[in-house]
Chains A and B, each alone.
Chain A
């Protein structure tokens, strides 16, 4: 989230799309309700189904799964055409005025951007960049009228997203679209900057082959409306698990290191070339300033290497940079399973996730495990992954053929562990264990530590390939076999390895002391920090993440002394943009930060997300993490692999040909796999119903099917289908149906509802259905034989978004039969 859960109460208008917070984030949703109750805020919900969120909205629009970008593109067009844009904000805080290289264009006819190589499905992105008046100085036109200005190119790009086009693609009737567009952009009516609107989304946007670009479109819309950096504004990702934000921050992903440092690749010959590649250089219009905070990358990277390898990381050996893995290609979730399916990965440690159930294309994952040598599953219940060898449909003969050795480790549940959760609002919140793990169950860190120490012991005894990273990893915990998470948290915050002095502050942090914040990080090896973003979370003053202060002096829900949020305890990111160019808040009633002329610094109720002493007259850009200092309507310099402007592409399985450019219907560089298990279906083959997967309030993933209370609330799987489709099939609610995709089939009872209506997609009647994902072949109902023992993800395709590598779990094609 750019903002935070509590901040939603400050909004005047909500667009909730690609998410269903009332059902999946009911506690956080209280702030959306609060905005309705206290501010009469409007709420627009756009979803494939009329959800429990829709039930409390002011306006609901039913959209076809996989067409969100077209809707948002339509909103951009509407905002520009109707003058509902924040003009001063656009000129001063975005790259609207920057000029783009002449070679960049969208080939309307073929539906691809300049630089596309059809033979390899790769873009040469060299034209996707600013024109430079001289090196580092961007050519610009602050009147926004230059035909090569970002604003004019943007206007032209989205001029094609007319209400009629939006209707053809999304199925949302023109008049309803216009109603929503008027409502949402209404906060900028007549250029008034007082109000703020927010966008809330979740995996309904990410789980598509153009997911990243959909979220970018939302960010662009918010920049156009001047909603970013504002209380009650922003682009807010509602994270789906209690600690998924923490998992991302700590690099639970293959292509980043902790704190979003880039992963080295084989071309990085040494640390210098790695830094050269990954440290952005300032690019800006001549009259402006840019903080370019990522220019500190060397400090963050050296401190990380010092945290990882301690004394073994020295200046002379490039801070042990050669110990870090170098990625030569993608190793995302779907690739891992594909590698195992092809036999190149021989073993898997599965901790806290049920791999075959979470899919996509579950049967391929089940078959992949059959080929592995070993599988270790750490769980609190017997799950589908650890019992893949007896998944329904397998024959006794086939079972005998499986040679995979399965080890099941008893893990600890969330209430049995201490540590932190990082929520969607970026708050690191410490929790205490409620009770000890039962029986032989062990804490995650003990299991991992014991495995690591055993591996290290083997390296010590027997040697092996490349022992350095294992032998030299720092492991200085009081109990090495079971490190306390408080010690780990302190290590992540970071400490001074040698005395560190700040000449300007005339202050010294002594060797061994915890660092007070990331401004203290150095690239000379005198500091160590496991994640620069978390620096400041556990200082000499104590555990900031354990704070429970409930004071909220501003009334804006900032709660500065409650836990700690990254970065630097800022609650709203880019909050400099809550003020006009002169440093005066756009809305006097919701002042966040402002320029204090007397003190010559930025002050406020939140921590300024800005260079604190940069006066407004210097015109430093508020988006300090971008090297250009501005919000990007156009993403230059290869930020995204599939286009600098988001373009609507159809899901890889779609009921229609993209009306914008029939020659290139789906995302040309979405990742597709080509094994015999990776089939895609077409309308011609009878797969003519759009299917989306979803989650219920009453269940948590594949976990609560083991808990009586949750099972009581929703006892068995079902498929939501429109009443009209049920009539076509001669089907009544509660009767069983079979849903088939090109990859598999799913059987469950039908929930016949009027909450999903038939749609007109490009003039053709199209049905859409929804499947909640929560069941499998192990659980209370499953063990009692009360469910069909199928996984919903047997249906979903392993096609991924090319930027974030998220699979397309939503908006694929199926056919439906009555059983």
Chain B
């Protein structure tokens, strides 16, 4: 955990996160302007190289997209979609897909392992593999289908938003590699303003009269925001959900019904105690006799 990032929230942890509130840190955000993305995959390569992710064999799949979806060792993937709009116009949409770093992260809410997922005050949501128990509950919690399981290590992985770089005042690796400047990084406030200005420019000066900024309220906003040519149709960009929400089951489980789990757990403990008192310690049968 990078030392100079302040923690906002921790998974599987009761009470306030230690150290939160001691210092304020500004929220950061990545801005992805899909209208100037050329699908060059420099961000994919930069992500692999900075994070030292191992080679993954790929196969031709009738697309320019490197693989169908992100993988435990491939956190940044440009999704390519041939799209015919309602007016009959043809578009080839390219969207950089990665963890959205939600302000209200479903993965963190769903995670039962203390400290396995943390949210920093700057908005980055990060997995701490040393505490991960591999239960994959985070997959259920994520409305963007991002967390990935490595079957060899039984740990979950995803984009870290380059916490190691950001904590040292650098931009994430993908941002640095982008040749067209379709990727920007800065405070959430600045990125939002930049995105709105760009969307307005598109509406006024191009055929994209319905351009807009994707920063979904259903997850409290995200630390990765998009400028889309057509804000009404995020699904066209390789399945970007129109209205993402943390699943109700996760919300109930970690919210109003948390007591139920606690009761169940306490009930279980009582049961175990009664069982012990009634039958005594379990004897291990000797083998080989």
**Partner-B contacts on A (CB < 8 A):** 22-23, 26-27, 29-30, 33-34, 36-37, 40, 50, 52-56, 58, 697-698, 708-709, 712-716, 718, 733-734, 749-755
**Contact check: which of A713, A716, A755 meets B44 at CB < 8 Å?**
A713
> Given the complex of chains A and B, what is the CA–CA distance between A189 and B238 in angstroms?
41
The interface centre, meaning the residue of A56, A697, A698 with most chain B CB atoms within 10 A of its CB, is A56
Contact A29 B38 (CB under 8 A): yes
> Given the complex of chains A and B, what is the CA–CA distance between A36 and B201 in angstroms?
10
The interface centre, meaning the residue of A27, A52, A733, A753 with most chain B CB atoms within 10 A of its CB, is A52
Given contacts A22-B38, A734-B62, 15 further A-B contacts (CB under 8 A): A26-B40, A26-B179, A29-B38, A29-B179, A36-B36, A50-B90, A55-B92, A56-B37, A708-B55, A709-B45, A712-B66, A715-B58, A715-B60, A750-B62, A755-B82
> Given the complex of chains A and B, what is the CA–CA distance between A700 and B64 in angstroms?
16
Question: Looking across the interface, which residue of chain B has its beta carbon closest to that of A60?
Answer: B90
Of residues 182 through 199 on chain B, the ones whose CB sits less than 8 Å from some CB of chain A are: 182, 198
Q: Does B243 contact A (CB under 8 A)?
A: no
Residues of B within 8 A of A752 (CB): 62
**Contact check: which of B36, B41, B62 meets A751 at CB < 8 Å?**
B62
Contact A709 B48 (CB under 8 A): yes
Can you show 9 pairs from A to B with CB atoms below 8 A apart? A29-B179, A33-B182, A37-B36, A55-B38, A56-B35, A56-B37, A713-B66, A718-B60, A734-B61
Contact A713 B45 (CB under 8 A): yes
Residues of A within 8 A of B273 (CB): none
Contact A53 B38 (CB under 8 A): yes
1/0 per position for B153-180, CB-CB distance to A under 8 A? 0000000000000000000000000011
> Given the complex of chains A and B, what is the CA–CA distance between A716 and B59 in angstroms?
8
Residues of A within 8 A of B277 (CB): none
Q: Does B150 contact A (CB under 8 A)?
A: no
> Given the complex of chains A and B, what is the CA–CA distance between A54 and B39 in angstroms?
12
Residues of A within 8 A of B57 (CB): 712, 715
Q: Does B231 contact A (CB under 8 A)?
A: no
> Given the complex of chains A and B, what is the CA–CA distance between A29 and B58 in angstroms?
28
Question: Looking across the interface, which residue of chain B has its beta carbon closest to that of A732?
Answer: B62
Q: Does B63 contact A (CB under 8 A)?
A: yes
Contact B39 A33 (CB under 8 A): no
Residues of A within 8 A of B182 (CB): 33
Residues of B within 8 A of A749 (CB): 60, 62
Chain B interface residue count, Cβ-Cβ cutoff 8 angstroms: 39
- What distance in Å separates the Cβ of A582 from its nearest Cβ neighbour in chain B? 34
Whether A712 touches B60, Cβ cut-off 8 Å, given contacts A23-B38, A37-B36, is: no
Complex A-B, nearest 3 residue pairs according to Cβ-Cβ distance, in ascending order:
A733-B62, A22-B38, A55-B92
Contact B36 A33 (CB under 8 A): yes
Contact B181 A30 (CB under 8 A): yes
Contact A697 B63 (CB under 8 A): no
Of residues 8 through 22 on chain B, the ones whose CB sits less than 8 Å from some CB of chain A are: none
- What distance in Å separates the Cβ of A42 from its nearest Cβ neighbour in chain B? 9
Q: Does B233 contact A (CB under 8 A)?
A: no
Residues of A within 8 A of B180 (CB): 22, 26, 29-30, 33
Chain A interface helix/strand/loop/mixed: mixed
Question: Looking across the interface, which residue of chain B has its beta carbon closest to that of A38?
Answer: B201
Q: Does B207 contact A (CB under 8 A)?
A: yes
Q: Does B289 contact A (CB under 8 A)?
A: no
Contact A50 B55 (CB under 8 A): no
- What distance in Å separates the Cβ of A770 from its nearest Cβ neighbour in chain B? 13
Q: Does B228 contact A (CB under 8 A)?
A: no
> Given the complex of chains A and B, what is the CA–CA distance between A36 and B206 in angstroms?
10
Residues of A within 8 A of B41 (CB): 697-698, 713
Q: Does B56 contact A (CB under 8 A)?
A: yes
Contact A754 B84 (CB under 8 A): yes
1/0 per position for B17-32, CB-CB distance to A under 8 A? 0000000000000000
> Given the complex of chains A and B, what is the CA–CA distance between A37 and B63 in angstroms?
29
Residues of A within 8 A of B58 (CB): 712-713, 715
**Partner-A contacts on B (CB < 8 A):** 35-42, 44-45, 48-49, 55-64, 66, 82, 84, 90-94, 179-182, 198, 201, 205-207
Contact A715 B59 (CB under 8 A): yes
> Given the complex of chains A and B, what is the CA–CA distance between A50 and B37 in angstroms?
15
- What distance in Å separates the Cβ of A186 from its nearest Cβ neighbour in chain B? 14
Residues of B within 8 A of A27 (CB): 179
Residues of B within 8 A of A58 (CB): 206-207
The interface centre, meaning the residue of B56, B60, B62, B206 with most chain A CB atoms within 10 A of its CB, is B60
> Given the complex of chains A and B, what is the CA–CA distance between A26 and B94 in angstroms?
15
> Given the complex of chains A and B, what is the CA–CA distance between A40 and B36 in angstroms?
13
Question: Looking across the interface, which residue of chain A has its beta carbon closest to that of B35?
Answer: A56
Contact B60 A716 (CB under 8 A): yes
Contact A755 B92 (CB under 8 A): yes
- What distance in Å separates the Cβ of A172 from its nearest Cβ neighbour in chain B? 15
> Given the complex of chains A and B, what is the CA–CA distance between A733 and B59 in angstroms?
13
Contact B63 A751 (CB under 8 A): yes
Residues of B within 8 A of A713 (CB): 41, 44-45, 58, 66
Contact A712 B55 (CB under 8 A): yes
> Given the complex of chains A and B, what is the CA–CA distance between A26 and B56 in angstroms?
24
Residues of B within 8 A of A754 (CB): 82, 84, 90
> Given the complex of chains A and B, what is the CA–CA distance between A755 and B206 in angstroms?
22
Residues of A within 8 A of B38 (CB): 22-23, 26, 29, 52-53, 55-56, 697
Contact B92 A54 (CB under 8 A): yes
Contact A52 B179 (CB under 8 A): no
- What distance in Å separates the Cβ of A415 from its nearest Cβ neighbour in chain B? 15
**Contact check: which of B36, B64, B181 meets A56 at CB < 8 Å?**
B36
The interface centre, meaning the residue of B36, B61, B179, B180 with most chain A CB atoms within 10 A of its CB, is B180
Residues of B within 8 A of A50 (CB): 90, 92
Contact A30 B63 (CB under 8 A): no
> Given the complex of chains A and B, what is the CA–CA distance between A698 and B90 in angstroms?
24
Residues of A within 8 A of B66 (CB): 712-714
Question: Looking across the interface, which residue of chain A has its beta carbon closest to that of B205?
Answer: A40
- What distance in Å separates the Cβ of B288 from its nearest Cβ neighbour in chain A? 49
Residues of B within 8 A of A753 (CB): 82
- What distance in Å separates the Cβ of B203 from its nearest Cβ neighbour in chain A? 12
Residues of A within 8 A of B42 (CB): 26
Question: Looking across the interface, which residue of chain A has its beta carbon closest to that of B55?
Answer: A708
The interface centre, meaning the residue of B58, B62, B201, B206 with most chain A CB atoms within 10 A of its CB, is B62
Residues of B within 8 A of A33 (CB): 36, 180-182
**Contact check: which of B60, B63, B92, B207 meets A52 at CB < 8 Å?**
B92
> Given the complex of chains A and B, what is the CA–CA distance between A33 and B33 in angstroms?
11
Residues of B within 8 A of A716 (CB): 59-60
> Given the complex of chains A and B, what is the CA–CA distance between A55 and B205 in angstroms?
17
Contact B56 A712 (CB under 8 A): yes
> Given the complex of chains A and B, what is the CA–CA distance between A713 and B76 in angstroms?
12
Contact A52 B94 (CB under 8 A): yes
The interface centre, meaning the residue of A33, A55, A698, A709 with most chain B CB atoms within 10 A of its CB, is A55
Question: Looking across the interface, which residue of chain B has its beta carbon closest to that of A54?
Answer: B92
- What distance in Å separates the Cβ of B49 from its nearest Cβ neighbour in chain A? 8
Residues of A within 8 A of B55 (CB): 708-709, 712
**Contact check: which of A52, A750, A751 meets B40 at CB < 8 Å?**
A52
> Given the complex of chains A and B, what is the CA–CA distance between A29 and B84 in angstroms?
26
- What distance in Å separates the Cβ of B119 from its nearest Cβ neighbour in chain A? 31
Residues of B within 8 A of A697 (CB): 38-41
**Contact check: which of A34, A40, A714 meets B201 at CB < 8 Å?**
A40
Whether A30 touches B40, Cβ cut-off 8 Å, given contacts A40-B205, A55-B91, A712-B56, is: no
- What distance in Å separates the Cβ of A297 from its nearest Cβ neighbour in chain B? 41
- What distance in Å separates the Cβ of B175 from its nearest Cβ neighbour in chain A? 14
> Given the complex of chains A and B, what is the CA–CA distance between A22 and B182 in angstroms?
13
Whether A22 touches B40, Cβ cut-off 8 Å, given contacts A30-B181, A58-B207, is: yes
> Given the complex of chains A and B, what is the CA–CA distance between A751 and B80 in angstroms?
13
Question: Looking across the interface, which residue of chain B has its beta carbon closest to that of A723?
Answer: B82
Residues of B within 8 A of A40 (CB): 201, 205-206
Residues of A within 8 A of B60 (CB): 715-716, 718, 734, 749, 751
Residues of A within 8 A of B45 (CB): 709, 713
- What distance in Å separates the Cβ of B25 from its nearest Cβ neighbour in chain A? 30
Residues of A within 8 A of B61 (CB): 733-734
> Given the complex of chains A and B, what is the CA–CA distance between A709 and B206 in angstroms?
36
